[in-house]
């Protein structure tokens, strides 16, 4: 199972409050500088391409 699928599977079991915490954590990670990140999944490439 791909990492993306694992995250979604676990995400669905969280309460709305915990889902919000996860979103905030991801936003924090995204705000940190990265070097030359290349998305690995088609959906991620779409999202990054639309930013």
Answer yes or no: are the C-beta atoms of 19 and 28 closer than 8 Å.
Answer: no
Considering Cα of 25, then 40, then 50, then 35, what sign does the dihedral take?
A: positive
Per-residue pLDDT of the chain (51 residues; tens, 9 = 90+): 789 999 999 999 999 999 999 999 999 888 888 777 677 777 776 776 665
Q: What pLDDT does residue 39 have?
A: 73
Q: What pLDDT does residue 7 have?
A: 93
């Amino acid at each position: 199972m791909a990492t993306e699928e694992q995250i979604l599977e676990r995400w669905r079991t969280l309460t709305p409050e915990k889902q919000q915490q996860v979103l905030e954590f991801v936003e924090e990670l995204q705000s940190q500088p990265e070097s030359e990140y290349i998305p690995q999944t088609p959906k991620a490439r779409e999202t990054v391409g639309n930013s």
